[in-house]
Structure 1
């Protein structure tokens, strides 16, 4: 059995990286079992939460590169979860909307992700989970350039 150096175990950046790798694998594998990907969830949840948007706006809202967004939307549209319709204000661009089937799929994905979150965070209490989410939100917001935000609102 290999023992990790105490110096390595004390590095938050290393621990975050290891936790992120485990989390990414767990979520990716869990979603793959039902024919979904993380980006599917990101698009469906964003459409449900913020409403229809152009492809470029969806890319900004989700952080998915524009070139990758096209492939994700092709998959979601193929499966009937989202649709692209010409923007009535600008026929050169499309507006992405969530379909009824997409709403149903989002609820399925929410349930799967809730189970995966439970599995990932099993060793933590409910209070620790809330603290972890708040601290990670604070870190992400800071490094995304939103550090001027009130930390108590995270």
Structure 2
């Protein structure tokens, strides 16, 4: 008789004070832990609206830049093309985007956000703003702004 393998538990997020000094002194470790916490909070909040972070990224890009090909949307959002197909299928099934043949090249589709998608995006904006407030609660408004600026600078390098 074979035993069912145990599913490993998801480790709890360590408290900063519990980290060994060597780890607490590593910005890369602190960024990774903060990122994991942020991802969990955002994912949980979006799931309550039947959405995922890639849904938000696609809708935000379409709202800001307008209709584009799936390849263009992939470049703009950082979503792998193979993953983007599933995201587009989900968003289209929910009525948030429309895909139509590109008149200039019938082999590709142009993706457009629908009015229902814009309404959904506004709801997600509110949900994410609340999540950001939760994550950034220990920081002042000036510190939040500085953190965002520093992270943008690190990513741009």
Q: Provide TM-score, normalisation by structure 1.
A: 0.90
Post-superposition shift, 1:129? 0.2
> 1:16-62, CA deviations, whole angstroms, 9 ceiling, x for partnerless residues?
00000000000001100111100000000000011111011100000
Match of 1:8 among 6, 16, 23: 23
1:115 aligned onto 2:98: no
> What is the number of residues matched between the two proteins?
142
Match of 2:140 among 111, 119, 125: 125
Question: 1:24-39, aligned counterparts within 5 Å?
Answer: 24-39=39-54
Task: Output the CA distance in 2 between the equivalents of 1:78 and 1:5.
Answer: 48
Question: 1:73-152, aligned counterparts within 5 Å?
Answer: 73-142=88-157
Task: Output the CA distance in 2 between the equivalents of 1:119 and 1:78.
Answer: 31
> Which ranges in structure 1 are unaligned for 5 or more consecutive residues?
143-154
1:62 aligned onto 2:62: no
Q: For residue 18 of structure 2, give the secondary structure of its aligned residue in structure 1.
A: coil
> Which ranges in structure 2 are unaligned for 5 or more consecutive residues?
1-14
Q: For residue 18 of structure 1, give the secondary structure of its aligned residue in structure 2.
A: helix
Match of 1:17 among 23, 32, 36: 32
**1:149: which partner in 2?**
none
Task: Output the CA distance in 1 between the equivalents of 2:102 and 2:18.
Answer: 58
Q: For residue 97 of structure 1, give the secondary structure of its aligned residue in structure 2.
A: strand
**2:64: which partner in 1?**
49
Alpha-carbon RMSD: 1.2
Which has the greater radius of gyration?
2
